[in-house]
Amino acid sequence: MNASEQVVDLSTTELRDLNSALHKLRPDTNQTLWRIANPRGRHSVAVGVDAPVTIEIDGHVGYYCAGMNKHAKVVVNGNAGTGVAENIMSGTVHVKGDASQSAGATGCGGMLIIDGNASARCGISMKGIDIVVKGSVGHMSAFMAQAGSLVVLGDAGESLGDSIYEARLYVRGKVQGLGADCIEKPMTDHHKAKLTAKLTAAGVTGVDVGAFKRYGSARRLYHFHVDNVY
């Protein structure tokens, strides 16, 4: 262990004490690497961090891990429960396993990387976050997605992008069904370049971006139309 590395074992340390220590970190801290052992599926691990540090969690986590993250890089060497990286502002959250429902919900910035699959409502109400899922996502993913991007290398479930605003969705595999006001859109060279940049940032290389399809808003739901007046 180097001088800047902090090791916390949650089998002997209270989670509240860990999060309190992380919340006290300042941008100029020299405690730049944190390793967390024995998370044992605990909820709210490493929430609300606001410092440019790296946090490696060795094991599975429960609900809302790395929620409200700002600046930090959080790596989960396992699976994550509901709402991982919920309301993330900046930084990176990387789940090496699978993620449960509502991954990256309401995220305003930063990047969420999921090496496995994500369950239902991945990216719900996203507001600027970039999400890259190397597996597949469940139903209602990107529901009411306002801004940002969702990249899925696998398949997508029913009602993808339901009630979507201006987020961009890229799916390489099969889409079981599109939600209200979500349509397939042309995949131009501009979008291929954007997608390549997202994949590269997530550490994904050697992928044919031409195999992806792009989806977005038809812009019929949030514009006034006289036929909708009763």
Whole-prediction pTM: 0.95
pLDDT band at 33 (very low <50, low <70, confident <90, very high): very high
Rounded-to-integer distance, Cα 206 and Cα 104, Å: 25
Q: How many domains does the chain have?
A: 1
pLDDT at position 135: 98
Looking at residue 223, its pLDDT comes to 66
Q: pLDDT tens digits for 148-201?
A: 999 999 999 999 999 999 999 999 999 999 999 999 999 999 999 999 999 999
pLDDT score of 126 more than 80: yes
Give the N- to C-terminal CA distance of the chain in Å, as an integer: 68
Question: Could you tell me the two tokens for 42?
Answer: 């605990």
Structure tokens at 8: 């916390």
pLDDT at 12: 97
pLDDT above 90 covers a percentage of the chain that reads 93
For the domain that residue 153 is a member of, what is the CATH number? 2.160.20.60
Share of the chain above pLDDT 70, in %: 95
Q: Which of 120, 153, 122, 160 is nearest to 138 (CA)?
A: 120
Would you call 223 exposed, middle or buried from its count of C-beta atoms within 10 A (0-12, 13-18, 19+)? exposed
Nearest-angstrom CA–CA distance, 212 and 21: 43
Give me the mean pLDDT over the 97-103 stretch. 98
Domain extent, residue 88, equals 5-228
Q: Are 152 and 222 in contact (CB under 8 A)?
A: no
> pLDDT at position 227, please?
65
What average pLDDT does the segment 55-78 reach? 98
